[in-house]
Structure 1
Amino acid sequence: MITARRQQVLLAVLLLNANRVVPLDSLVDELWGSAPPATARAQVQTCVSALRRGLSHTGLGERIRTRGVGYALELAPEELDLKVFERLLGQGREALAAGRPQAARTAFREALALWRGELLTGIDSRAVRAHRIRVAERRTEAVEDCIEAELRLGLHRELVGELSALVDEYPLRERFVAQLMTALYRCGRRVEALAAYRRVRETFVEELGLDPGPALFRLHQEILTGRADPGPVPAGPASAGPGGEAPAAGGGLPG
């Protein structure tokens, strides 16, 4: 186990840039910012040597390569959950765009199943903090896309509870609100769908001084007048696929 703070930061930065060269000066900047010590470059080299020994002792072999005036951590595509997540997310979106919601749902679920806690938790690094925010956003988008696939499969009844929790967690995320309104409407709960819009509008006005966007407003009008898409008729329990539940909210990807 790597416990030294500098080694943890260096390993995290190399992992987030797997198979790409990270310049030595970038590593110095990540560790010390604008005021590095005179021995900074030598200290980074010492840390990298220690990391190489640590990885070798765990049976991973020689993974950190010197490339010019920088270093690259070599990994196969399936060795890093983050890379697998991105691959599955891309597959799911391609299937969704091609009109194959079940295949999309399967890919999204596999991607979301990799989520086992906050990304590189406890690592004090600007690069890691910024990447943690980006990855959390990607995860939330994956949940949205997965729910879109499930709505296309007619699983609106199964989604109402999950979407209610997601709207509570992300009250300004309009796509979750639209999905909740859609699921409620398709369940025959039109009044609740309209109430969901009123609540989010109140939140927007109170916190931002703005109304929700035009897409959400149009959906509200369609539900109000009964012109919203009633959605597909679910084929039965088998249509839910393995597990049958919507993706859970919260969490993060390990590095």
Structure 2
Amino acid sequence: MRAFEDTRPNRIVQRLLGDRHSLPLSIVLHLVPGALIVAAYLLIGEPFVNAIGYPVLMGWAIALCLVLIPILLGLLWLGRKHNGHISLRGVLHYTDRPVPRGKLVAMVIPLIVWMTVVGFALAPMNNFFKDFFTWLPYADEGGSATAFLDGYSYSILLTTMVICLPLTGISLPLIEELYFRGFLLPRIAHLDGWAPVVSTVLFSLYHFWSPWVFVSRVIFTFPGFWLTWRKKDIRPAIGMHVGVDAILATFGTIAVALNLI
């Protein structure tokens, strides 16, 4: 019995750290975190922020932390099992930085512009698709980008934005990229040109908390994910994703601080 208990974790580690993930395994590893985030929001995040009178944005930040931080710890655990000490070596791929810094900047800036401009341009399409998801318990937060802020005092809004900025603006999207592009994408590279397509589609589906953004999310994230796969360098995806989220969170915080919204 003890031998079975000792070998089972090793089998799990070997399967997760293998060079290839089967498509069913990859689908599970992509989508289960999204389902857990929604559950964490409904069971913990939403009741907590309602009890203290804070916006739902804080509730989603809490839910994301409750799932994504353990995922990062899980990656570190895999690294410890693999390397004998806490490390992400052998766990994450596409981390050798093959793209020179100058070329990387030349890639990331257009990606940030693309994701921002296209994201705003496709907002009407998101609103159209949202009408098909009104049955979701968290789909009634308002139709505008700032509706979730309505009805709260200045101090509560500013506190929410300041707390969420380093989380939803930097740390959490960084963890997402380490997991989805550093851990999962390289292990479906055997799908060849379909790998970045599958990664983009599954990542967009993972956002169960905003399914109405699925189509536009596929469109505005695919170039960065494709470049990461093509160049075998995780930094284009990180630069695009974290860059856009950090910029939007920063401008949102400044706008609240200056009473512009």
Instruction: Say which structure is richer in helix.
Output: 2
Same structural fold, with TM-score higher than 0.5 when normalized by the shorter chain: no
Question: What TM-score results when the alignment is normalised by the length of structure 1?
Answer: 0.25
Larger radius of gyration: 1
